[in-house]
Amino acid sequence: MNTQTAIVPRQLRVGLIGAGIGRSLTPAMHMREGEHCGLSYRYDLIDLDARGLSVSDLPALIDEAEAQGFAGLNITHPCKQAAVALVDELSPDAQTLGSINTITFHGKSRIGHNTDWWGFAESFRRGLAGVALGHVVQLGAGGAGVAVAHATAEMGARSIEIFDLDPKRAQALVEQLQPAHDACRFSIGHDLVAALDAADGLVHATPTGMDAHPGLPLDRRLLTERLWVAEIVYFPIETELVKRAKQAGCRVLDGGGMAVFQAVKAFELFTGMRPDANRMMQHFNSLRS
């Protein structure tokens, strides 16, 4: 009698820790791609708000996930910087950025990674291929701002002028990233009109345009067709900035690609398998349609 041995899918469990993450599309992207790769893939949302917790509970949450056999964790606002002190080792980019959005567990060792910057860079390469990167203006110097400024410099920008409502935060970004990028000059912006007049493109890295923070981060008259515009907000996918930039004739990158490609790299870190990025992008688009 012929018998066949059933193939049991490799089981993998990961999670996302953050506040107000109930609408995140990351779990669905990971689990669907895991299914395509023959994995039994579980992705848990660990929402601080839903559980009545705060950043101070992060050490216990990471300990709990590790004890339960998680392969790793994604980390999002407001925990990315606090998580740095809770790992044993940092990837080179995570060291530069001083924040992590991914933790992988290897035996008793925790390694912290930052896939946000790579996600932005990969999205940019695909969506704005061939644009000039001589002088770039960036709005926003928070955690996401640091990641995308690092990415822009890694892609070959010669100068990046940083604008933020808090000048000290802009100064901190410049001081943090300049030592890591000899070929790119970082500076604090003071005159947005003059800066955009001399710029090749604009990177937007503030919350303005999100559902909870509607509006434009600058006067729409400053958007001219010679500028490219890159957005990182993806709720909604067509922010007011994306809409106005398209109307002005700019080449435009919406925030969806960064959301997908940070997940692509995290999936690879968790599983050791290379996912199908195009398939993940198609799934992401279907989820938000």
Q: What is the mean pLDDT of the chain?
A: 95
Confidence check: pLDDT of 1 > 60? no
Token reading at 93: 């980019």
Q: pLDDT tens digits for 50-104?
A: 999 999 999 999 999 999 999 999 999 999 999 999 999 999 999 999 999 999 9
Q: Taking the CB of residue 169, how many other CB atoms lie within 10 A of it?
A: 17
State the pLDDT confidence band at 150, using cuts at 50, 70 and 90: very high
Mean pLDDT of 209-221: 95
State the pLDDT confidence band at 288, using cuts at 50, 70 and 90: confident
Confidence check: pLDDT of 8 > 70? no
Mean pLDDT of 256-275: 97
Peptide bond into 179 cis (omega under 30): no
Provide the residue type at 38 as one letter. G
Confidence check: pLDDT of 32 > 70? yes
**What is the pLDDT at residue 4?**
52
Mean pLDDT of 130-148: 96
CA torsion, ordered 147, 153, 158, 159, to nearest 10 deg: 10
State the pLDDT confidence band at 212, using cuts at 50, 70 and 90: confident
**What is the pLDDT at residue 13?**
98
State the pLDDT confidence band at 6, using cuts at 50, 70 and 90: low
State the pLDDT confidence band at 138, using cuts at 50, 70 and 90: very high
Among candidate residues 215, 202, 223, the one with its CA nearest the CA of residue 160: 202
- Percent pLDDT > 70 in the chain is 97
- Percent pLDDT > 90 in the chain is 94
Confidence check: pLDDT of 17 > 70? yes
Order of strands across the sheet that contains 251-253: 185-188, 159-163, 135-139, 201-204, 228-231, 251-253
Catalytic site residues?
Answer: 80
Q: pLDDT tens digits for 161-182?
A: 999 999 999 999 999 999 999 9
Do residues 256 and 285 make contact, with C-beta atoms less than 8 angstroms apart?
yes
